[in-house]
Amino acid sequence: MKKKWHDIYLEYRSLLIFILLMTVFRSSFADWNHVPTGSMKPTIQIGDRILVNKMAYDLRIPFTGFSLYTFSDPERGDIVTFESEVTGNNMVKRVIGIPGDIIAMVDNRLYINGAPMTYHQTSTQGPIQFFEETTRNGHYQIRINREHSPASNFKAVEVPQGHYLMLGDNRDNSADSRFIGFVPRKEIRGRTRSVVMSFDYDNYFIPRAERFLRTL
């Protein structure tokens, strides 16, 4: 019996080593995550597979959240993935507030440290409006419903040390820091800047070639 298992090991050990190395790589270096919700529309679409750089901020022990070394911290405007202890899910959102920032929202318009962000409307689709939101760290597209949700306003809050304020680009349809609170630094797992591939969930999972290798 031992000889049989030994023979199986010898025959498949290259495959086993490959699987082990790939698992370690995806745990600590880079991974791809599928996106099942529209909370980051229009930037990330339902059905996108995003590339996650897990070494953007930390070098972590494989299969754990323990950081061996910190390379940098998230910046405003970064799209990050994090393992939310509040929801129990792996989530993807945009960093809006870093530690020490004072953030407010009035009718879906952000104020960071007292300064209003700049908005330029790019298009309208029925009740949905699309704007380019510009901050000191760059600009990106957001999606807003003309009939604002109760979450389109919140009073000024200060982001505590070791935490971040996250919002989805789909501002009226996102379970983000307005609902789950500030996100601890230790929960952040990586940063994404591109789509690897994408599939249309509403059309028999047909590949959306125009989104392959798309920069976010």
CATH of the domain at 75: 2.10.109.10
* Residue 205 domain flag: yes
The pLDDT score that the predictor gives to residue 212 is 96
The pLDDT score that the predictor gives to residue 12 is 67
* Residue 185 domain flag: yes
The pLDDT score that the predictor gives to residue 17 is 73
The number of domains in the chain is 1
The pLDDT score that the predictor gives to residue 26 is 73
* Residue 184 domain flag: yes
- β partners of residue 163: 184
* Residue 216 domain flag: no
The pLDDT score that the predictor gives to residue 110 is 97
Bridge pairing between strands 58-60 and 206-207: unpaired
Bridge pairing between strands 206-207 and 90-97: unpaired
The pLDDT score that the predictor gives to residue 43 is 98
- β partners of residue 184: 163
The pLDDT score that the predictor gives to residue 41 is 97
Q: Which domain holds residue 77?
A: 2-211
Backbone φ/ψ region at 9: left (φ over 0), alpha (ψ -120 to 50), beta: alpha
Instruction: Indicate if the alpha-carbon torsion angle 162, 167, 168, 174 is positive or negative.
Output: positive
- β partners of residue 129: 124, 144
Beta carbons of 11 and 59 less than 8 angstroms apart: no
Q: Using alpha carbons, select from 83, 21, 17, 49 the residue that is nearest to residue 194.
A: 49
> What residues act catalytically?
39, 93
Instruction: Please list the pLDDT of the chain residue by residue as tens digits (216 residues).
Output: 555 666 665 666 776 776 776 776 677 777 889 899 999 999 999 999 999 999 999 999 888 888 899 999 999 999 999 999 999 999 999 999 999 999 999 999 999 999 999 999 999 999 999 999 998 888 999 999 988 788 899 999 999 999 999 999 999 999 999 999 999 999 999 999 999 999 998 888 899 999 999 999
Bridge pairing between strands 138-145 and 154-158: unpaired
Please report the DSSP string for 126-165 in residue order.
TTEEEEEEEETTEEEEEEEESS--GGG-EEEEEPPTTEEE
Cα(216)–Cα(198) distance, rounded to whole angstroms? 13
**E strand spans, 5-63:** 30-34, 48-53, 58-60
